[in-house]
Amino acid sequence: MNHKTLVISLLISAVMLSISGTAMSDDDYERGGFLNRWFGDSKPGVAPVENPYYLEECGSCHFAYQPGLLPARSWSKLMAGLDDHFGENAELPAEDAKILEDYLVGNSADKSNHKRSKKIMKRMPSTDTPLRITETRYFIKKHDELSRNMVQGNPQVESISRCDSCHKQAAKGSFEEDEIEIPGFGRWEDD
């Protein structure tokens, strides 16, 4: 085999591997998949929250959502409307709000090297600026099999936005299906 034939064969093989990699399911991709394990291009899950001020300020009222669950534009819009934060006044002094916004924007899904953040962005049109993680296409697809009884009708969950009720490793940035346990229903078994 001459040099030119070898190069062409290698290029064709690389393209075929890339194409086969795109056929993997989300969970295959999340767990690393062949190409991602081979090339190590992303970290698993989403980056856990490591900002103590964010944990204290935002986590005192609700689950401290990882910045990698929304794009920067969403976090900026959310921080600009703290006077009506989902029906509550969560206003902060301007300098404190700026510290939090810088953290959220700097670690947002569109700036992350974590697999789940990349998948969220892959499914999000550039014109979308969701204020709720539950409004993202990725979230909706991943939760479409849940019944009302499992969430709203479940006194131990009550809302789809209470991630850590079912995702036992959510605070660590892991939302793997094999770590899901729905209170009153047990481990999640995806058919």
Distances (CA, A) of 70 to 31, 66, 80: 21, 8, 15
pLDDT tens digits, residue range 46-88? 999 999 999 999 999 999 999 999 999 999 999 999 999 999 9
Question: Which residues on neighbouring strands pair with residue 85, listed in sequence order?
Answer: 88
CA triplet 157, 162, 167: central angle to 5 degrees?
85
Rg over CA atoms, the chain: 20
* pLDDT on residue 189: 78
pLDDT over 90 percentage in the chain: 72
- Residue 93 CA to residue 90 CA, distance in Å, equals 10
Best mean pLDDT range from 6-15, 16-25, 31-40, 105-114: 105-114
Q: Which residue type does 154 have?
A: N
Strand segments, DSSP code E, in the chain are 181-182, 186-187
Q: Are 49 and 55 in contact (CB under 8 A)?
A: yes
Flag whether pLDDT at 1 surpasses 70.
no
- Pick the more confident residue, 177 or 28: 177
* pLDDT on residue 128: 95
The contacts of residue 129 (CB under 8 Å, 6+ apart) are 71, 73, 74, 77
pLDDT tens digits, residue range 91-127? 999 999 999 999 999 999 999 999 999 999 999 999 9
Average confidence score pLDDT of the chain: 85
Tell me which of 4-8, 23-27, 140-144, 154-158 is least confident. Answer: 23-27
- Residue 188 CA to residue 116 CA, distance in Å, equals 19
Question: Which residues on neighbouring strands pair with residue 187, listed in sequence order?
Answer: 181
Q: Are 43 and 114 in contact (CB under 8 A)?
A: yes
Q: Are 75 and 109 in contact (CB under 8 A)?
A: no
Alpha helices in the chain (DSSP H): 3-22, 26-30, 33-39, 52-57, 72-80, 94-106, 115-122, 137-142
- List the domain boundaries for the chain: 3-39, 46-132, 143-191
